[in-house]
Chains A and B, each alone.
With several copies, the nearest count.
Chain A
Amino acid sequence: MPRKTMIEAIRDAMDVSMGRDEKVVVFGEDVGFFGGVFRCTQGLQAKYGKSRCFDAPINESGIVGTAIGMAAYGLRPCVEIQFADYMYPAYDQLTQEAARIRYRSNGDFTCPIVVRMPTGGGIFGGQTHSQSPEALFTHVSGLKTVVPSNPHDAKGLLIAAIEDPDPVIFLEPKRLYNGPFDGHHERPVTAWSKHELGEVPDGHYTVPLGKAAVRRPGSAVTVLAYGTMVYVAQAAAEETGIDAEVIDLRTLLPLDLDAIVASVKKTGRCVVVHEATMTSGFGAELAALVQEHCFYHLEAPVARVAGWDTPYPHAQEWDYFPGPARVGRALIETMEA
């Protein structure tokens, strides 16, 4: 099977979707002629024309706002926000409009849009190119939130998101665009061509929203992760020698609670990891759910490893990033608790 980078897989997903359904349109800042600053839309304008793939003014609220109007008309817009850090101007449209149109109109109007945005740090992007705002979406009823961790899933999930009848936030961990990154920034980069999850089937397929995947089976402790942290967690398990079961959530909302509960009931311990700021991060929801549903199986408190409660700094990037050492320490502490 062909191996692709995550960028190629994402592009492929849009290509396949645009080819199958002429209602799918793609736009965003620098998305048209140039093909996006991460090149995820490269070639789509040339292939499908300027009416299906085009550059947008630098106005995230306008990008999402017009996409909502298009969706109400009957199109299926898949728009790009250049960095998740720049979604804030669109937050009103996403949370107060996209998320609610079906509900408040009792289905008279719907909003099948996908909003893609690169997320996470690890590229020395500082506080305005590194954010992970997933918890700001999971708190909003009416949205779905997806975070792929590999090219195979990225393509299948994105196609599923585009075909979904409701608004989907699609967060792309930019540090994974070119390879599985386990947090060892001092080591050479691995490419997707070397990884089995870099295998991306041609043509149409979907990975269903709302289903987690076990990336590393284990019996001692459950690690709940998504995006880049999936690889960090795997590395931490290897390096500590702890028999951790690493679950890649893939979709945060709807959440695959069954998979989580089954694993934690088996292992009796749980560590939750994410790159976003700790307080009120999605890890809080995960920890709350796990202790609620697995209380009598837990042998240790659910631990959280996350970005510190500061903006993402530039020089201290690797002190901020919750790398394998910090996750490893949490695994050990959780085992010893």
Chain B
Amino acid sequence: MTDALRFHVPEPEVRPGGAPDFSNVPIPKAGSVPRPPIDVDPRDIRDLAFSIIRVLNRSGEAVGPWAGLLTDDELLEGLRHMMTLRAFDARMQMAQRQGKTSFYMQHLGEEAVATAFRKALQPGDMNFPTYRQAGLLIADGYPMVTMMNQIYSNEADPLKGRQLPIMYSSKEHGFFSISGNLATQYVQAVGWAMASAISGDTKIAAGWIGDGSTAESDFHSALVFASTYKAPVILNVVNNQWAISTFQGIARGGAGTFAARGLGFGIPALRVDGNDYLAVHAVAKWAAERARANFGPTLIEHVTYRAGAHSTSDDPSAYRPKAESDAWPLGDPIVRLKNHLVLRGVWSDERHAQAEAEILDTVIAAQREAEKHGTLHSGNKPSVRDMFEGLYAEMPPHLRRQRQQAGV
């Protein structure tokens, strides 16, 4: 007689009330994963999908074959970008609480991912980001005031109040207009990269997706097209362990890792310590070189942890232990890079504290400047006319009638 079937629903190790437990997360030693040549046969590096590339060790040293790509100045700049992003987040989070905007999403704990990645790209390359990659803009020098204008939907909002806060767009900075619909843009990144190849250009694209969103179908579409046409694209999965209240095990299912998804497509798949600025940058650089040299796509899983709430509408204490973030074994990306720079003798606690203060001043100054243009519920706003405009290159008659009806 056959036993009855049982229904299996994956569960996180602990829930609120329990003690955080990451003992099941294997963390390879920094420097232990080899760096293959960029023309490697993807079949020869399948194991990289199950390891983690790390550069900074516990003592703050940069070790192993992925180390040594960045100068001290570049690292100091990276530190500043991460600190800026964190300060920016804190202010905007507060601005939302003060009713200056409707919504905000922060990057706490994940600052290294996008900031380090951005520096591996070249001008003209294009990112197709999710809502948690503002680091791309910060690291590319996009003005914070403009970001805030967008968040406030004020009169200077470059998107005219049409988009939700943080759904930035900047072609100039290689940052594709963010969509609120998850995963849709992953496959668009592949299309952009295909277009670059079709045009005999040298520019590459990067797609971004969260761990939870890899479950969406467009993730598959992206891999199918990238694999088939060897598109010059970097496919990033930011595994921050959570998708709102849902732990990564629901999206990942029985696969050991998200990087493993690449194996079924013959796409080289690497996992990287997402809280290690140097590692993220080195892996991104490797993938960018591959793409630009016509070797096709690379899948990168950035292993990190969403230390904050999903968004200002979320309270994570309802679904995970409060202290889970402190127990995260890969540490804090800012602290780790700071320690490394201190160890190298180019940074100190004092300079760090000073930089923090300076950065805060800059952010606050930007905020003051932005608020001169208004915030969501006060001051000047994008006009009602702006609501009707810009949908089509030329306004069709029915919309013109509606605009007249609206009296604008």
Which residues in window 372-408 of B have CB below 8 A to A?
A: 376, 381-382, 384, 386-388, 390-393, 396-399, 402, 406
Choice from A58, A73, A258 contacting B182 with Cβ under 8 Å = A58
Q: Which residues of A contact B245 (CB under 8 A)?
A: 30, 33-34, 55
Q: Which residues of B contact A126 (CB under 8 A)?
A: 102, 162-164, 167, 180
In the bound complex, how far is the Cα of B390 from the Cα of A102, in angstroms? 7
In the bound complex, how far is the Cα of B181 from the Cα of A61, in angstroms? 14
In the bound complex, how far is the Cα of B244 from the Cα of A32, in angstroms? 12
Choice from B103, B161, B176, B192 contacting A316 with Cβ under 8 Å = B161
- B169: Cβ under 8 A from any A Cβ: yes
Q: Which residues of B contact A55 (CB under 8 A)?
A: 9, 245-246, 250
B152-160, B256-264, B283-291, B359-367 - interface stretch: B152-160
Which residues in window 135-176 of A have CB below 8 A to B?
A: 141-142, 144, 164-166
Contacting pair A96 B184 (CB below 8 A): yes
Contacting pair A309 B399 (CB below 8 A): yes
Contacting pair B402 A308 (CB below 8 A): yes
Which residues in window 101-124 of A have CB below 8 A to B?
A: 101-110, 124
Contacting pair B391 A102 (CB below 8 A): yes
Q: Which residues of A contact B402 (CB under 8 A)?
A: 278, 308-309
Q: Which residues of A contact B215 (CB under 8 A)?
A: 57-59, 62
Choice from A54, A72, A102, A144 contacting B9 with Cβ under 8 Å = A54
The number of residues on chain B lying at the interface, defined by a beta carbon within 8 Å of a beta carbon of chain A, is: 84
A6-14, A84-92, A217-225 - interface stretch: A84-92
A50 and B7 in contact (CB under 8 A), knowing A97-B181, A253-B396? yes
- A129: Cβ under 8 A from any B Cβ: yes
Which residues in window 248-275 of B have CB below 8 A to A?
A: 250-251, 253
Q: Which residues of A contact B220 (CB under 8 A)?
A: 59
In the bound complex, how far is the Cα of B170 from the Cα of A70, in angstroms? 17
Nearest A residue to B247 by beta-carbon distance? Answer: A55
- A313: Cβ under 8 A from any B Cβ: yes
Q: Which residues of A contact B382 (CB under 8 A)?
A: 315-316
- B369: Cβ under 8 A from any A Cβ: no
Choice from A70, A85, A102, A315 contacting B392 with Cβ under 8 Å = A102
Contacting pair A104 B386 (CB below 8 A): no
Contacting pair A104 B225 (CB below 8 A): no
Contacting pair A74 B195 (CB below 8 A): yes
Q: How far is the CB of B240 from chain A (nearest CB, A)?
A: 14
In the bound complex, how far is the Cα of B406 from the Cα of A37, in angstroms? 34
Choice from A88, A255, A315 contacting B376 with Cβ under 8 Å = A315
The number of residues on chain A lying at the interface, defined by a beta carbon within 8 Å of a beta carbon of chain B, is: 77
Q: Mark B46-72, 1 if CB is under 8 A from A, else 0.
A: 000000000000000000000000000
- A254: Cβ under 8 A from any B Cβ: yes
Q: Which residues of B contact A65 (CB under 8 A)?
A: 184, 187-188, 190-191, 218, 221-222, 225
In the bound complex, how far is the Cα of B162 from the Cα of A96, in angstroms? 14
Q: How far is the CB of B190 from chain A (nearest CB, A)?
A: 6
- B177: Cβ under 8 A from any A Cβ: yes
Contacting pair B396 A89 (CB below 8 A): no
Q: Which residues of B contact A54 (CB under 8 A)?
A: 9
- A67: Cβ under 8 A from any B Cβ: yes
Q: How far is the CB of A102 from chain B (nearest CB, A)?
A: 6
- B15: Cβ under 8 A from any A Cβ: yes
Q: Which residues of B contact A258 (CB under 8 A)?
A: 397
Contacting pair B9 A51 (CB below 8 A): yes
In the bound complex, how far is the Cα of B376 from the Cα of A32, in angstroms? 34
Which residues in window 184-202 of B have CB below 8 A to A?
A: 184-185, 187-199
A319 and B384 in contact (CB under 8 A), knowing A127-B163, A313-B162? yes
A106 and B158 in contact (CB under 8 A), knowing A33-B319, A314-B164? yes
- A15: Cβ under 8 A from any B Cβ: no
Q: Which residues of B contact A73 (CB under 8 A)?
A: 126, 191-192, 195-196, 199
Q: Which residues of A contact B94 (CB under 8 A)?
A: none
In the bound complex, how far is the Cα of B394 from the Cα of A166, in angstroms? 9
Q: Which residues of A contact B183 (CB under 8 A)?
A: 58
Q: Which residues of A contact B164 (CB under 8 A)?
A: 125-129, 314
Interface centre among B126, B162, B165, B217 (most CB of A within 10 A): B162
Q: Which residues of A contact B171 (CB under 8 A)?
A: 105, 108-109
Nearest A residue to B154 by beta-carbon distance? Answer: A315
Which residues in window 292-327 of A have CB below 8 A to B?
A: 308-311, 313-316, 319-320
In the bound complex, how far is the Cα of B182 from the Cα of A106, in angstroms? 20
- B313: Cβ under 8 A from any A Cβ: yes
Q: Which residues of A contact B158 (CB under 8 A)?
A: 106, 108
Contacting pair B179 A128 (CB below 8 A): yes
Q: How far is the CB of A198 from chain B (nearest CB, A)?
A: 24
- B212: Cβ under 8 A from any A Cβ: yes
Contacting pair B399 A310 (CB below 8 A): yes
Q: Which residues of A contact B212 (CB under 8 A)?
A: 57-58
Q: Which residues of A contact B160 (CB under 8 A)?
A: 106, 315
- A29: Cβ under 8 A from any B Cβ: yes
A104 and B163 in contact (CB under 8 A), knowing A58-B213, A72-B176, A308-B388? yes
Nearest 10 interchain pairs by C-beta: A69-B191, A315-B161, A128-B180, A66-B191, A62-B221, A57-B215, A65-B187, A34-B245, A105-B177, A73-B195
Task: Pull 23 A–B residue pairs with CB atoms less than 8 Å apart, ordered by A.
Answer: A29-B243, A34-B245, A50-B9, A57-B253, A58-B243, A65-B222, A70-B198, A92-B181, A101-B177, A102-B390, A102-B393, A104-B163, A105-B163, A110-B393, A124-B102, A254-B398, A255-B397, A257-B398, A309-B402, A313-B162, A314-B161, A319-B406, A320-B387
Residues of A near any B CB (own CB < 8 A): 25, 29-30, 32-34, 37, 50-52, 54-59, 61-62, 65-70, 72-75, 85-86, 88-89, 92-93, 96-97, 100-110, 124-129, 141-142, 144, 164-166, 210, 253-255, 257-258, 278-279, 308-311, 313-316, 319-320
Residues of B near any A CB (own CB < 8 A): 7, 9, 11, 15, 102-103, 126, 128, 153, 157-165, 167, 169-171, 176-177, 179-185, 187-199, 205, 212-213, 215-218, 220-222, 224-225, 228, 243-246, 250-251, 253, 313, 318-319, 376, 381-382, 384, 386-388, 390-393, 396-399, 402, 406
Task: Identify 16 new A-B residue pairs, CB closer than 8 A, beyond the known A69-B128, A310-B399.
Answer: A29-B243, A50-B11, A55-B250, A58-B251, A69-B189, A70-B198, A72-B192, A92-B218, A109-B176, A124-B376, A126-B162, A128-B179, A128-B180, A308-B402, A310-B388, A311-B162
